[in-house]
Amino acid sequence: MLKIFRSGVVRRSVRVEAFSECTAKLQLEMNDKLEKVDFSALWLRFNCHCPECRQQGSGQKTLSPLVWPEDIKLQEAFFENDELKFSIKGEDHEGVIPGQVLRKFVSDERARRSAAAKMCYLRKPKQGWGSEIDFSQTNNQKGQYDMTQKIAKNGFCVAKNCPTKKNGVLDVCHKISEPIPFLYGLVQNIVNEPNPTNIAFSDAFLAPHMDMVYMESPPGLQYLLCRRNDDCVEGGESILIDAFEVAEHLRANHPRDFETLCSVPVRFQKIHWERENPVYFEWEQPHIVLDNKGQISRVNWAPAFEGKSRRSSMTNEYIQAYRRFMKQVDESDTKIVKRLNEGECIVFNNRRMLHGRTGFKLNGGVRFMEVAYTNICEFRSKAQVLEFTHGQGEIVTRVGNSNLI
């Protein structure tokens, strides 16, 4: 039961309406409207902004819960000069949290739940790729904001008129963050090789997949730049499919299959001894991972890199669900099959979008792509900073990296 200790007075449109040992009921001015928000004593204590609890400058927490009283109970709470002041029973400490910090926290929490924070599934674009930008626009922050927003919402963006020089793909990466060398170095050249170590380096059909799902943290954004694609080259169209949309579609239409793909552990691997530094990557997780709210937080889909799963995983339910997912990948409304032309670079979220390529014939011509990657958290951070500085202050959509936010 809420025991009322004290009522506050309005100061700068905020006040402590009431508080008990456990909870402070605050009234905050949010967008010119007064709103009631509850904070627990523990939340307030953990988020104290006083110089003892948080280093000024770095803002990093320096408080130690080990020296706090056993039970965290509010002794007092009131607003003064737009700062919440509070104290905890049995502790010699004056807690402080600026009103601005509380308002920002509340508005961000709200934005996380708003419709604007939902992924947007791009179905059958009527024109071009449906999510494009000219590379020249990304020279300024406004253009970078547009690009990161498109990637965050649609899962990808095609940059046109990119530099086609050697390592030109790195120029595109640098619009977002520092490229990261994965297994194949900083830049991979996607060209035909006589004895390919990867299907990508041949002219064969490349089934839709995510890169390196055999890692705890697969590449975040992938940049696929077309340096050259001669007119005489037949086929070799790029394929993009939104795996999150496919998974949601499965959940809506075949809930038991969805459940199976959320629960059966599957092994992914990359084992390669014949290289200077042999690799032995193994990762085991269901194809679809849910967060604590039941939202999809990660998808693992790369049939060519599946290892030998535990025998108990190979059930009739599993193969039925697996086939269904595979079929829906193929039939997805979000599927785009399109030729990438010289100077075009697909920048896509590898944790969300499946990519592939149709088979091709060179006919004496050249097809030359470059691939590079940047980190998913760097992307989300960049997109969020630009959203706060150039956008509406929305919270960036889920990016598929098992983040619970």
Residues that bind Fe ion (CB under 5 A): 211
Both tokens of 357, joined, read 């390529």
Q: Which of residues 367-396 bind Zn ion (CB under 5 A)?
A: none
* Chain centre to alpha carbon of residue 150: 13
Member of 16, 28, 53, 239 binding Zn ion (CB under 5 A)? 53
3-state secondary structure of 132: strand
User: Residue 44, interface with Zn ion (CB under 5 A)?
Assistant: no
Q: How far is the CB of 100 from Zn ion (least distance, A)?
A: 17
User: Residue 233, interface with Zn ion (CB under 5 A)?
Assistant: no
Q: How far is the CB of 103 from Zn ion (least distance, A)?
A: 19
User: Residue 48, interface with Zn ion (CB under 5 A)?
Assistant: yes
Residue 39 or 129: the one with the smaller Cβ distance to Zn ion is 39
Cα gap 57→262, rounded to integer Å:
43
Both tokens of 188, joined, read 């991979």
Q: How far is the CB of 79 from Zn ion (least distance, A)?
A: 16
Cα gap 65→73, rounded to integer Å:
14
Cα gap 196→93, rounded to integer Å:
66
DSSP β-bridge partners for residue 28:
35
User: Residue 302, interface with Zn ion (CB under 5 A)?
Assistant: no
Q: Are 357 and 238 in contact (CB under 8 A)?
A: yes
Residue 211 or 344: the one with the smaller Cβ distance to Fe ion is 211
Q: How far is the CB of 214 from Fe ion (least distance, A)?
A: 13
- Which option in Fe ion, Zn ion, none does residue 211 bind, with CB closer than 5 to 8 A by kind? Fe ion
Size of the residue set binding Zn ion (CB under 5 A):
4
DSSP 355-399: EEE--EE-TT--EEEEEEEE-HHHHHHHHHHHHHHHS--PPPPP-
Q: How far is the CB of 94 from Zn ion (least distance, A)?
A: 7
Q: How far is the CB of 68 from Fe ion (least distance, A)?
A: 50
Member of 22, 42, 50, 117 binding Zn ion (CB under 5 A)? 50
In sequence order, the 6+-apart residues with CB closer than 8 A to the CB of 34 are: 13, 27, 28
Mark the segment that binds Zn ion (CB under 5 A) among 47-55, 78-86, 145-153, 396-404: 47-55
Residue numbers at the binding site for Zn ion (CB under 5 A) = 48, 50, 52-53
